Structure 1
Amino acid sequence: MPAKIIGMIGTQQEGVAVHLIKGQISREWVIDFTRLHEQWNYDSVLVGYYASAAEGFAIALYAADHTERIKFLIAHRPGSVAPALAARQIATFDQLTQGRMWLHVIAGTSDQDQASEGDFLPKNDRYRRAAEYLDVMRRIWTSDSPFDHKGEFYRIEGAYSDIKPFQQPYPRLFFGGSSEGALEMGAAHCDVFAIFGEPLAETRARVDDFRRRAAAFGRRADFNMSLRPIMAETEGAAWDKAHALLADVERKTGEAPKPSNHSSERLLGYAARADVHDERLWMGIARATGAPGNTSCLVGTPEQIAAAVLRYYRLGIHSFLLRGFENPHDTMAIGRDLIPLIKAGAEQIDRQAEAAE
């Protein structure tokens, strides 16, 4: 399977979420930043979800209208809208872009962020709701006739959609999370398990565990890993860059906040054990920030980082969300110096595997 590389267009200069500057969307940034990813051979870009940010489907559709081939991994919260409406919204986007989308299912972040949208359901219940939500959407996408549904969270009579997804049977569904509720939902309903960068041994165990979970539902599991490359021409210069970045983060953030979810707790556990794992995986930023998101870094030359990414590829992780800290410069550097090495290396691994069969 060819390696897929995902970028992210969900941030603007100054760290503001999803292209917002004092309440206004920078349309030029949306276009230029997405085109930059397309130019440098990214396969897709993530459009994140924040309760206070611009609406992701609209951002992605605007960007799609100004690009030619790049896909959009759109983050979506079950429960923010009714599943019947979401099913039509997603199918419409997929038809208008001729299949240029995937969906990243987020059952929820912090209770505070959920409450700001009027959602007060406890986190464990949100995963059960998400599972029911996805079940309803998938049935709407694939049903040839109206159906009724009466579940724990939703009741629908005569559910049906005239519009079906362009991708059959529907776009790929990503999800993330480390709690038991998240894993149960993902194994039953989603196609790609998105994880943060962890040490190789623990990653192998996660991959094996989730494959077993998905197989119990007759499903095949794929995986995505989020990593933040810190690159330079020499290894020493890359580590100097990493330590300078850490010092800047520590000056700005002060004491690290407590972790807000199971995935953050996992990363902080690795950071407490050691700053560096498997030569390249650096947890310094995770430790300093409380690991609120994608904070697993790979440090080194492009060749060294590509080799580290390909070790994960050999474990069965075939797509990678890669973004730097200084954009758009890092976006271009990853596309120019790193993506070609990763894709060529993955092709070589696949050829060797086929020859061995």
Structure 2
Amino acid sequence: MTPDFEVYATARTARPGEPHGLAALREISRAAEAHGVTGLLAFYNHRNPDPWLVASAVLGCTDRLVPLVAAQPYAAPPFTVAQLIHTLTTLYGRRVDLNLITGATGAELRQVGETADGEERYRRAAEYVTVVRRLLTEEGPVAFAGDHYRYEGLRMNTPLAPELLPRVFLAGSSPAALATARTVADVAITHPEPVDRFAEDYARALAGGPRIGIRVGLLARPTAAEAWAVARETYRETRASRLTTAARRTQGSDWSRRLAVLATEGDVYDDVYWTGAYRSDKGTLPLLVGSYREVADYVARYHRAGARVLVLGNAGTAEDFRHAGAVFAELGGGSAAAMFDRSRAAVERR
């Protein structure tokens, strides 16, 4: 079996106590490239470094990685984002993908005076993508009249070559997110529920639509006992973290509420899917824990359910990529690099 997963990892700039964020970013970028990963996700929030500067650094220290840059519409208008994509693509001759996000913590939304509800933010996102794509593909001036953006005779540089156009990822799992993904996204991305629920809910709703991506952490070792020992030691629950998890059942985004319900109702699902990172308040994504074979089998089940893009949320060192590579080898590819070659060919055939 050789699933045609594309694999992205997540960029990090520095861990607590590390003084040099660029060194940390170079470390993970080079480790990801050495293991055949397609690209790196650069986060957006009010505390992280600017994702466009992170993307530039990733491009500057690698030969092949594709930055997957998180863009929040309230933070930059579509014209600015189109300029950034065009500039980076032209400078480096490489594709830059766009991860469009519409949510944030309640505190961050209040800080910027964001009053639109979730459905309205997704309607704005659809206009946003439309404008960005037109600016990157059309020769002449762009005119656009929507509910959120209005442009008249807007000009940019020459259009990008088709193979350098960004792929748009859209994050979210609500009905509004799914509807928007069907309209404008190349890849719909979510933090998935256990695989059977994922298949019945998220994957079924997007059948026949964009490619489907999942963002998870892989915590795999040669044996399940080793993996669970690392997991339990790394992600320890506290009374405060349990209260935080309970509060999230009625707060935040749709996927956050879904995972909060899972985390309060159970710890381990299907012997592999674990909510420990969420329960310990040390992460917002599920972890797949077990032996290389067990984790590979579970990843293969997501593939059979329709997932084609895998975004790793906890691969931050060369050792992490080595363990992830062992999972990919169990999937039948022999290495992450081999899986990258297959997934790139699959994308080029689309």
For the criterion TM > 0.5, the same-fold answer is yes
Q: How does 1:146-185 map onto structure 2 within 5 Å?
A: 146-168=141-163, 170-185=165-180
| Distance in structure 1 (CA, Å) of the matches to 2:85 and 2:49 | 17
* CA-CA distance at 1:309 after TM superposition: 0.7
| TM-score where L is the length of structure 1 | 0.83
Match of 1:207 among 199, 203, 206: 203
- Correspondence for 1:39: 34
Structure 1's unaligned 5+ residue stretches are: 351-357
- Correspondence for 1:317: 307
- Correspondence for 1:83: 78
| Distance in structure 2 (CA, Å) of the matches to 1:126 and 1:292 | 24
| Distance in structure 1 (CA, Å) of the matches to 2:124 and 2:283 | 24
| Distance in structure 1 (CA, Å) of the matches to 2:332 and 2:91 | 29
- Correspondence for 1:69: 64
- Correspondence for 2:253: 261
| Distance in structure 2 (CA, Å) of the matches to 1:288 and 1:332 | 23
Secondary structure of the 2:218 match is strand
* CA-CA distance at 1:192 after TM superposition: 0.6
Alignment CA distance shift 1:343-1:176 (3 Å): farther
Structure 2's unaligned 5+ residue stretches are: 343-350
| Distance in structure 2 (CA, Å) of the matches to 1:253 and 1:92 | 42
- Correspondence for 1:103: 98
The structure whose RCO (Cα within 8 Å, separation 6+) is larger is 2
Q: Deviations over 1:159-180 (max 9, x none)?
A: 2322323444831110111222
| Distance in structure 2 (CA, Å) of the matches to 1:89 and 1:163 | 14
After superposing the two structures, state which structure 1 stretch, 329-338 or 275-284, moved more. Answer: 329-338
- Correspondence for 1:10: 12
**Does the alignment pair 1:26 with 2:15?**
no
**Does the alignment pair 1:140 with 2:125?**
no
**Does the alignment pair 1:229 with 2:218?**
yes
Secondary structure of the 2:181 match is helix
* CA-CA distance at 1:118 after TM superposition: 5.0
Q: How does 1:231-310 map onto structure 2 within 5 Å?
A: 231-247=220-236, 249-250=237-238, 253=241, 255-257=243-245, 258-259=247-248, 260-289=252-281, 293-294=284-285, 296-310=286-300
Percent identical pairs in the alignment equals: 24
Secondary structure of the 1:13 match is coil
| Distance in structure 2 (CA, Å) of the matches to 1:7 and 1:339 | 14
| Distance in structure 2 (CA, Å) of the matches to 1:153 and 1:13 | 38
Q: Deviations over 1:177-222 (max 9, x none)?
A: 12222222221111111111322221112112112xxx5xxxx410
Contact preservation (8 Å) 1:75, 1:104:
yes
Contact preservation (8 Å) 2:171, 2:188:
yes
* CA-CA distance at 1:343 after TM superposition: 5.8
Contact preservation (8 Å) 1:44, 1:71:
yes
- Correspondence for 1:121: 116
* CA-CA distance at 1:266 after TM superposition: 1.2
| TM-score where L is the length of structure 2 | 0.85
**Does the alignment pair 1:56 with 2:59?**
no
Residue type of the alignment partner of 1:12: A
Secondary structure of the 2:58 match is helix
Alignment CA distance shift 1:11-1:197 (3 Å): farther
- Count of aligned pairs between the two proteins: 330
